[in-house]
Amino acid sequence: MATATKPRKSTKPAAKTGHRFLMCPPDFFSVEYVINPWMEGNVARSANASARKQWKALHEAIAARANVETITPQRGIPDLVFTANAALVLGNTAIISHFRHAERQREEPFFKEWFEKHGFETIEMPRGMFFEGAGDALFVRENGPLFLGYGWRTVLDAAGLVAERLGVEVVPLRLVDERFYHLDTCFCPLTGGRLIYFPAAFDERSVRLIESHVPAARRHAVSEKDALAFACNAVDTGSAVVLNSATPELEKVLRGWGFDVVQTPLDQFMLAGGSAKCLTLRLNEELPAAKRSSGSVAPITSRIVEFSGHIIDDGTLPRVMDLIPASGGTFHVLHFNPGLRKDDPTQIAMEVKATSAAHLDSILLQLLALGGQQRVDEETAARLESVTKAGVAPETFYSTTIYPTDVFFGGKWLRVKRQRMDAAVVLDAKVNPPTATCRLIRDLKRGEKVVTGSEGIRIHVKKDNHEDAGEFKFMGSPVSSERHVEAVVDLLAWDMKRIRDRGGRIVWVAGPVVIHTGGGPHFARLVRSGYVSALLGGNAIAVHDLEYAIYGTSLGVDLRRAVPVGGGHRHHINVINMVRGCGSIGKAVESGLIKSGLFHDIVKAKVPFSLAGSIRDDGPLPDTEMDLLKAQAEYSRLLVGADMIIMPSSMLHSIGVGNMTPAGVRMICVDINPAMAAKLADRGSTDATSIVTDVGLFLNILARKLAEE
Ligand code: NAD
């Protein structure tokens, strides 16, 4: 039976396996620079004598069970001690590491020389293609594949080359926690196809990949405590697992799998971010011939994306270059033509690579939203999938943005109709010419063809949102506060007048604060002057306006004197009751119950309105639509053809409207809370302007201004 050796030394002599390891004595080891989070604050803090002692104990533990060879340490190259990073060895081939940091690149010639002297065929990586050997490339023992960690040190591009040169299947895993900067700090394959790993060090997709390759019974996810004690940085001698430390739980798992567990403290090396495994390199790694192929290149897929315009000035280019690696992909610039004069556009074409088709789609969709364009031909036409269940989109459906969008179908670009956010695109090829239309998921019908993935999709981001340098942008800054309000209202009034005079549409989305703040009469003046083409709101704005019309109060407060009125708390419910008695707000106006106020003027001016219900609503009023799907459809209908949407003090309904509206429609949000501006901007539109002020004041100034005009 396997025994755990704690205290440190095993009492019975361990049988030697045929494993061979390379180690480097720590004669010149110390922390001299900072290239990982473990080194931070530890420069010159390691004690060499203690490090030597710890290394010797590790060496003895391994040498008792396997064969250990050594490489001569070099003065001034402290990390040579971490031989795991020397190379990746398979059979007689060693792919020599090409380190990301200059500090460690100095190790490369020493490792290369050692391998050549010892009869290995060596392969060097091209310059700039960083690959840190068995620190980042580990075989799941006996069966393959080769797992390759990327994200901090090794680059994703290395996967293709390693797969091709070694003729193995490579599965790239993305590392996301910098404390686990090498794969061997959080992932340890063991004899018998076993694995211990720390899932939180990987992105979700990589965890799924690990789980799909290693059956649950053969893998163990270590605790954070074990992970931070470098338990995954363990050496597998074939019979024993040698590591810095293991919790009783982990020890039990390893013993249950038949391993001897040898704990030997390595805290001196942890100051530099390394432990047992980092200090060793397995030299006789073999794979069964059946697992060697003619180079099953890793599942890396790529597509070409181009950007053009003032992409340096407007920050698009740096965003693109950050976004791709941050999403786990990589890129290769194929063509770059920087604009040499101020007005010259910059052009770039890049090959974007990812680890699977779905991964590539997720990156591509973000790039398209930044204005990236894909080259298209019949091969890359929009991918279509049928709806198999009414009201449910295919899993990979393309979810729309607010920007004008085209899909490539039948050799042509088709402009998507009824553009809005968060919808699917239905392609109808039965009509001539074919059409593409935004459709809410819930409205999808069985058999309809929906655009999926990211191929054959083009989004016109720049054209409508005025991001291009030098392009005119109405009301300049997205948020106007305090003293700017008067000036902004001047501009707004001017623009509203132009829209009204040319017969355009100004749609309002308003909350009840309009009434509480005394803005109702000013709003009503705007209705009478033709500046309100439609009003979208909830139950409350109407309830409080009608209460004001009947009682002169809003929520029981006398608006003229700003004091609560005795018994006023039930005014609003009385009003709801009275209007319910009439059948509708329109009938209440006709019957003479409502003689003044915002809704009185709206009814008289035949301005269409829609009141969407919510869970907060009292009553509700007979006009309030409590079926939200119907209310959304009605809002949508009233928004068609809007030139401007003004949103005074209504967070709930404004955000809803923002999602329904395509780019290019100017939105003015008036709210006392600047956070509202951010919420609207989140939909990605720069057409939204927020005026941070009291809504009563705003309506007063606006109505005064337009009345003067
Ligand atoms: P909301 O949270 O959607 O929006 C209120 C917004 O007004 C907030 O963004 C806030 O920052 C802003 N605001 C507050 N004071 C302001 C001021 N002085 N000037 C400018 N902005 C100001 O809330 P809502 O629209 O009041 O209500 C949400 C839902 O609840 C609606 O559907 C509404 O009909 C319902 N509601 C019903 C009743 C009722 O039936 N009696 C009462 C209240 C709300």
* Candidate from 64-78, 314-328, 522-536 with smallest mean pLDDT: 314-328
What pLDDT shows up at residue 289? Answer: 66
Q: Is 182 a catalytic residue?
A: yes
- Closest CA to ligand 1's atom 40: 617
Q: Is the pLDDT of residue 96 over 90?
A: yes
Q: Cα 111–117–118 angle (5° rounding)? A: 90
Please give the distance, rounded to the nearest whole angstrom, from the Cα atom of residue 404 to the centre of ligand 1. Answer: 31
Contact status, residue 97 vs residue 46, Cβ threshold 8 Å:
no
Nearest CA to ligand 1 atom 9: 651
Tell me the per-residue pLDDT of 392-413, one tens digit each, with 9 for 90 and over.
Answer: 999 999 999 889 999 999 999 9
**Runs of H (alpha helix) within 306-356:** 316-326
Number of helical (H) and strand (E) elements in the chain, helices listed first? 22, 38
Q: Residue for token digits 């495994």?
A: 277
Sequential DSSP letters for 15-33: PP-S-EEEE---TT----S
Residue 342: per-residue pLDDT? 79
Helix (H) or strand (E) holding 349: strand 346-354
Q: What is the mean pLDDT of residues 690-701?
A: 93
End-to-end CA distance of the chain: 95
pLDDT digits 0-9 by tens, 569-602: 899 999 999 999 999 999 999 999 999 999 999 9
- Token pair 């209504």 is found at 650
pLDDT score of 206 more than 80:
yes
**Whether pLDDT at 475 is above 60:** no
What's the whole-number mean pLDDT along residues 522-537?
A: 97
Q: Is 178 helix (H, G, I), strand (E, B) or coil?
A: helix
Reported as a single tens digit per residue, the pLDDT across 341-380 is 878 899 999 999 998 888 899 999 999 989 999 988 777 7
Across 13-20, average pLDDT = 78
pLDDT at 68 over 90: yes
Residue 249 has pLDDT above 50, yes or no: yes
Task: Identify the residues whose C-beta falls under 6 Å from ligand 1.
Answer: 511-513, 517, 538-540, 543, 572, 614, 616-618, 649-652, 671-673, 676, 694-695
The proportion of the chain whose per-residue pLDDT surpasses 70, expressed as a percent, equals: 91
Question: Residue 9: which pLDDT band, with cuts at 50, 70 and 90?
Answer: very low
Of 407, 409, 461, 464, give the one whose Cα is nearest residue 438.
Answer: 407
Task: Quote the Cα angle for 227-229-234, to 5°.
Answer: 75
pLDDT confidence bin for 4, thresholds 50/70/90: very low
Joined tokens for residue 199:
């899932």
- 652 Cα to the center of ligand 1, angstroms: 8
For ligand 1, atom 19, the nearest C-alpha belongs to 694
Higher pLDDT, 3 or 90: 90
Q: Choosing from 232, 278, 438, 669, which is the catalytic residue?
A: 278
- Lowest-pLDDT range, 63-77, 213-227, 547-561? 547-561
Work out which ligand 1 atom sits closest to the CA atom of 650. 4
Alpha-carbon gap, residue 112 to 151, rounded angstroms: 25
- Give the tens place of pLDDT for each residue, 254-283: 999 999 999 999 999 999 999 999 999 999
> For residue 513, how far is its CA from the centre of ligand 1 (angstroms)?
6
Element (H, E) at 123: strand 121-124
Atom 11, ligand 1: residue with shortest CA distance? 673
DSSP, residue by residue, 665-685: SEEEEEES-THHHHHHHTTT-
Nearest to 90 by CA among 248, 221, 303, 285: 285
Please tell me the distance between residue 602's alpha carbon and the centre of ligand 1 in angstroms: 20
**Closest Cα to residue 244, out of 6, 599, 524, 71?**
6
- Any catalytic annotation for residue 186? no
At 431-442, the pLDDT tens digits run 999 999 999 999
- Angle between helical axes of 695-708 and 520-528 (0-180°, round to 10): 30
Question: Could you tell me the residue ranges of all domains in the chain?
Answer: 20-287, 301-459, 476-708
Backbone angles phi, psi at 695, to 5 degrees: -70, -30
Closest residue by Cα to residue 286 from 150, 452, 146: 146
Q: Could you read off the pLDDT of 477-493 as tens digits, one per residue?
A: 556 555 578 888 999 99
**Does residue 213 have a pLDDT over 80?**
yes
CATH code linked to domain 476-708: 3.40.50.10690
Q: Which of 19, 98, 182, 653 is catalytic?
A: 182
Query: What is the pLDDT at residue 11?
Result: 47
| Mean pLDDT taken over the chain | 90
pLDDT confidence band for 547 (50 / 70 / 90): very high
Between these two residues, 164 and 194, which has the higher pLDDT value?
A: 194
In the numeric block, the tokens 């109808």 are attached to 428
Q: What is the pLDDT of residues 608-637, one digit of tens each?
A: 999 999 998 999 999 999 999 999 999 999
* pLDDT tens digit sequence for 445-469: 999 999 999 999 999 985 444 444 4
Residue type, 378: E
d(CA 81, CA 670): 63
The answer to whether residues 148 and 161 touch, using CB atoms and an 8 Å cutoff, is no
User: pLDDT band at 472, cuts 50/70/90?
Assistant: very low
pLDDT over 80 (residue 298): no
At residue 2, the pLDDT reads 40
Q: Which of 575, 649, 655 to mutate to test the pocket of ligand 1 (most atoms within 8 A of CB)?
A: 649
Whole-prediction pTM: 0.72
Mutate to test the pocket of ligand 1, among 616, 618, 628 (most ligand atoms within 8 A of CB): 616
- Cα dihedral sign, 224-225-230-233: negative
Q: Which architecture does CATH list for 301-459? A: Beta Barrel (2.40)
Interval between CA 512 and ligand 1 midpoint (Å): 6
Angle between helices 651-660 and 628-639 (to 10 degrees): 60
Q: What DSSP string runs through 574-630?
A: HHHHHHHHHSSHHHHHHTTS--SSHHHHHHHTT--EEEE--TT--S--TTEE--HHH
Write down the pLDDT at residue 446: 97
* Fold classification of 20-287 (topology level): L-arginine/glycine Amidinotransferase; Chain A (3.75.10)
Q: CA dihedral defined by 360, 366, 367, 371, rounded to 10 degrees?
A: 150
Alpha-carbon distances, residue 584 vs 575, 579, 580, 589, 625 (angstroms)? 12, 6, 6, 9, 12
Instruction: Give the mean pLDDT of 30-43.
Output: 91
Pocket test for ligand 1, best of 485, 557, 650, 669 (most atoms within 8 A of CB): 650
Nearest ligand 1 atom to the CA of 539 is 34
Which pLDDT value is given to residue 58? 97
Average of pLDDT values for 118-132?
94
